[in-house]
Amino acid sequence: MITATYIDHMGSDLSVVNAARVSFGKKREALGTVTANGETSIVLHDTDQKLIKYLAKHKHMSPFGHCFASFHIKAPVFVARQLVKHKFLRWNEISRRYVDDEPEFYEPDKWRGRSADKKQGSDGVVSNINIGNITLTAKVLYNSLIERGVCPEQARMVLPQSTMTEWYWSGSLDAFSDMCNLRCKPDTQAETRLVADIIAGRMIHLFPESWEALTDG
């Protein structure tokens, strides 16, 4: 199962406002707070909401860099290898050089067909696919190598890309918005989009004004 678990965050929409206003020696306070669905967020002055929109529209990104969030992601290797490309997000992943726990494998609820008009992507559904024997063989082979004394850093080479991995993923508000603007698009890989959608769903509650201004939707 692919998961993206919120860990913690620093800052708020007000942090963005004050990071921008410090250029003029100014500081603003929030009007108050509001709680909805168990989430508490601050209420900004109208002028501060407009300031955030202005910053995002004109690509004045540095004020957004003062807000951070961290997530714990669990996903198959083929998803991780796509998401690790976002270099401005900090990444610490479990290492099978050190860990030799029995591997866990991802299998989708449905198998998508190959897109007819694109070199990548998918279209439709392919039925009667079962990879259970393949993953079982990989698991047995891996465990056999470990039991025979092979070092984990070599034994891992027999594991397929469906092997589950996990990592801590942290970064600034603008870095996560860049990632989600790319990975939440309908034409991205579904498994990768799932991670981005979960993160986006949390970030909109943590930084509602900024996230709306920074993202495509």
The catalytic residue positions are 183
Among 63, 41, 6, residue whose Cα is nearest residue 201: 6
Contact residues for 9 (Cβ-Cβ < 8 A; gap 6+): 67, 68, 69, 70, 206
Please provide the DSSP assignment of 40-91 as one string: EEEE--HHHHHHHHHHHHTT--GGGGG-EEEEEEEEEHHHHHHHTT-TTSEE
Phi-psi region for residue 128, left (φ > 0), alpha (ψ -120 to 50) or beta?
Answer: left
Task: Say whether 201 sits in a helix, a strand or coil.
Answer: helix
* Angle between helical axes of 13-21 and 46-57 (0-180°, round to 10): 80
Phi-psi region for residue 25, left (φ > 0), alpha (ψ -120 to 50) or beta?
Answer: left
CA-to-CA distance for 49 and 209, rounded, in angstroms? 7
Task: Say whether 195 sits in a helix, a strand or coil.
Answer: helix
3-state DSSP helix/strand/coil % of the chain, to nearest 5 = 45, 25, 35
